[in-house]
Amino acid sequence: MAHSLPVSFEAKMKSLLGDDYESFRQSYHHSPQAGIRVNTLKISAASFKEQSPFALRPIPWCETGFYLEEGTRPGLHPYYHAGLYYIQEPSAMAPVELLGVEPGDRVLDLCAAPGGKSTQIAAKLAGSGHLVTNDIHPDRTKALAKNIELYGVRNAVVLNESPERIAGAFPGYFNKILIDAPCSGEGMFRKDEDMLKHWKEDSPLQYAGMQRDILASAALMLEPGGTIVYSTCTFSPEENEGMIAVFLKEHEDFTMVSEKDAASPWFSRGESAWLLQHGLPEAGLDPVQDDAYIAAAAESRRIWPHRVEGEGHFMAVLRKKEIPGGSQRDDSNAIERHLKEQVKPKKDRRGKKGVSRVQSRDERNPRGKQSDIDGAALLQDFIEQYLHLDLGGDHVIMHGQHLYRSPVPEERLKGLKIVRAGWYLGQVKNGRFVPSHPLAAALHPQEASQVVNLSSSNGEAVRYLKGETLEIGHDRVKRGAGSEVVQQPKGYVLVCIDGYAAGWGKWQSGMLKNEYPAAWRWTSV
Ligand SMILES: C[S@@+](CC[C@H](N)C(=O)[O-])C[C@H]1O[C@@H](n2cnc3c(N)ncnc32)[C@H](O)[C@@H]1O
Residue 288 has pLDDT above 50, yes or no: yes
Residue 113 alpha carbon to ligand 1 centre in Å: 6
Residue 167 has pLDDT above 70, yes or no: yes
Residue 310 alpha carbon to ligand 1 centre in Å: 20
152: amino acid identity, one letter: G
Contacts of 369 (CB under 8 A, 6+ apart): 362
CA-135 nearest atom, ligand 1: 22
Q: 10-41: per-residue pLDDT in tens?
A: 999 999 999 999 999 999 999 899 999 999 99
CA distance 416 to 42: 31
What b/e readout covers 104-123, taking b as 16+ CB neighbours within 10 angstroms?
A: ebbbbbbbbbbbbbbbbbbb
Residue 364 is predicted with a pLDDT of 42
CA-183 nearest atom, ligand 1: 1
More confidently predicted of 367 and 34: 34
Whether 116 is in the pocket of ligand 1, judged by its Cβ within 6 Å, is yes
233 counts as catalytic: yes
Whether 180 is in the pocket of ligand 1, judged by its Cβ within 6 Å, is yes
Whether 114 is in the pocket of ligand 1, judged by its Cβ within 6 Å, is yes
Q: What is the mean pLDDT of residues 341-364?
A: 44
- Establish whether this prediction's ipTM goes over 0.90: yes
Mutate to test the pocket of ligand 1, among 109, 133, 136 (most ligand atoms within 8 A of CB): 136
235: amino acid identity, one letter: F
Active-site residue identified among 62, 183, 233, 496: 233
Residue 353 is predicted with a pLDDT of 45
Collapsed DSSP state (helix, strand, coil) of residue 36: strand
CA distance 26 to 35: 21
- Percent of the chain at pLDDT exceeding 90: 78
Whether 513 is in the pocket of ligand 1, judged by its Cβ within 6 Å, is no
Indicate the range of 226-230, 443-447, 481-485 predicted with least confidence: 481-485
Residue 336 has pLDDT above 70, yes or no: no
Residue 58 has pLDDT above 50, yes or no: yes
Residue 331 is predicted with a pLDDT of 52
Whether 14 is in the pocket of ligand 1, judged by its Cβ within 6 Å, is no
Residue 192 is predicted with a pLDDT of 84
User: Ligand 1, atom 7: nearest CA belongs to which residue?
Assistant: 116
Q: Where are the domains of the chain?
A: 343-404+423-435, 443-520
Indicate the range of 308-322, 418-432, 475-489 predicted with least confidence: 475-489
Is 441 annotated in some ligand binding site? no
Is 111 annotated in some ligand binding site? yes
8 A C-beta contact, residue 303 and residue 312: yes
CA-144 nearest atom, ligand 1: 9
CA-214 nearest atom, ligand 1: 19
Residue 325 is predicted with a pLDDT of 74
User: Ligand 1, atom 12: nearest CA belongs to which residue?
Assistant: 111
Residue 259 is predicted with a pLDDT of 64
CA distance 56 to 33: 12
Residue 424 has pLDDT above 50, yes or no: yes
Residue 327 is predicted with a pLDDT of 58
Residue 349 has pLDDT above 80, yes or no: no
Residue 269 has pLDDT above 60, yes or no: yes
Confidence of residue 280 (pLDDT cuts 50, 70, 90): confident
Contacts of 39 (CB under 8 A, 6+ apart): 83, 84, 85, 86, 119, 123, 151, 152
Going 270 to 273 to 279 to 282, the CA torsion angle's sign is positive
Residue 346 is predicted with a pLDDT of 38
More confidently predicted of 84 and 362: 84
Whether 505 is in the pocket of ligand 1, judged by its Cβ within 6 Å, is no
Residue 274 has pLDDT above 50, yes or no: yes
Residue 90 alpha carbon to ligand 1 centre in Å: 18
Q: What is the mean pLDDT of residues 427-456?
A: 96
Residue 199 alpha carbon to ligand 1 centre in Å: 17
Average pLDDT of the chain to the nearest whole number? 90
Is 112 annotated in some ligand binding site? yes
**CA neighbor of 491 nearest in space, from 512, 517, 463:** 512
Q: 60-100: per-residue pLDDT in tens?
A: 999 999 999 999 999 999 999 999 999 999 999 999 999 99
Residue 335 has pLDDT above 90, yes or no: no
Pick the CATH number of 443-520 from 1.10.1040.10, 3.90.79.10, 2.30.130.60, 1.25.40.10: 2.30.130.60
- Percent of the chain at pLDDT exceeding 70: 89
